Structure 1
Amino acid sequence: MPQILPLVAPGSPGAELVVGQDGGAAVRRTVLPGGVRVLTEHMPGLRSATVGAWVGVGSRDEMSGHFGSTHFLEHLLFKGTARRSAMDIAEAFDAVGGEANAATGKEHTCYYARVLDTDVPIAVDVIADMVTSARLDPDELETERGVILEELAMNDDDPSDVAHEQFATAVFGDTPLGRPIGGTPHAIRSVPRDAVWEHYREHYRPDTLVVTAAGGVDHDALCAQVADALAAGGWDLAAGAVPAPRRAVGERGAVSVGVELTVRRPTEQANVIVGGTCLNATDGRRFVLSVLSAALGGGMSSRLFQEIREKRGLAYSTYSYASGHAETGLFGLYAGCAPAKVDEVTELMVAELERMASEAMGAAELERSIGQLCGGLVLGMEDSGSRMSRLGKAELVHGELLDVDESLARIRAVTAREVQELAAELAAAPRSVVRVGPFGD
Structure 2
Amino acid sequence: MSFHHSLEFAQQLDAQDPLAKYREEFHYPQHNGKDVIYFTGNSLGLQPKRSQKFVDDVMKDWKEMAVEGHFYAEKPWWDYHERLAEGLSKIVGAKKEEVSVMNTLTVNLHLLMVSFYRPTGKRIKILCEEKAFPSDQYMLQSQARYHGFNPEDVIEEVKKRDGEHFWRTEDILDKINEVGEELALVLMGGVNYYNGQVLDMEAITKAGKEVGAKVGWDLAHGVGNVKLNLHDWGADFAAWCSYKYMNSGPGNASGIYVNESYLGQKDIPRFEGWWGTKKETRFLMQPEFDPIDTADAWQLSNPPILSVAPYLASLELFDEVGMDALVQKQKSIVAFLEFVLKEIDKEVDSTFEIITPEERGCQLSVFLHGEGRPLFDYLMKNGVITDWREPNVIRLAPAPLYCSYTDMYNFGQILKEGILSK
Question: Normalization by structure 1: what TM-score?
Answer: 0.23
Please state which structure has a larger fraction of its residues in strand.
Answer: 1
